[in-house]
Amino acid sequence: RQLFDAAERVLLRDGPHALTSRAVTDEAGCAKGVLHRHFPDFDAFLAALVLDRAAALEAETRALGASVGTGTVAANLTRALCGLFGPVPVAIIPLITFRDELRSRLRES
């Protein structure tokens, strides 16, 4: 989780081209080997990151369904759309677009 959060901060602050294993581990304050101990390579890490963030969006979508009958429709939709089009999902799109191996890993999952 700490590595995912660090990757998200680098992605939002510096953009997809700056997202490297060194940038992530530096941001997380740990040795580069920590990332490679948990993931076979950086694209495997990125695929896990994207899937983790997609799962969070899926949870928000389920919450929208559960919000029926509470609050206003406008407020419920606003909350859901802000999550869907928030800074993290928007920043992940170019990351997937420009990394062929990442796209391949995501297709396999």
Residue 82 confidence (pLDDT) above 80: no
pLDDT at 78: 84
pLDDT at 35: 94
| pTM summary value | 0.82
At residue 71 the predicted structure's pLDDT band, cuts being 50, 70 and 90, is confident
Do residues 92 and 53 make contact, with C-beta atoms less than 8 angstroms apart?
Answer: yes
CATH class of the 2-108 domain in this structure: mainly alpha
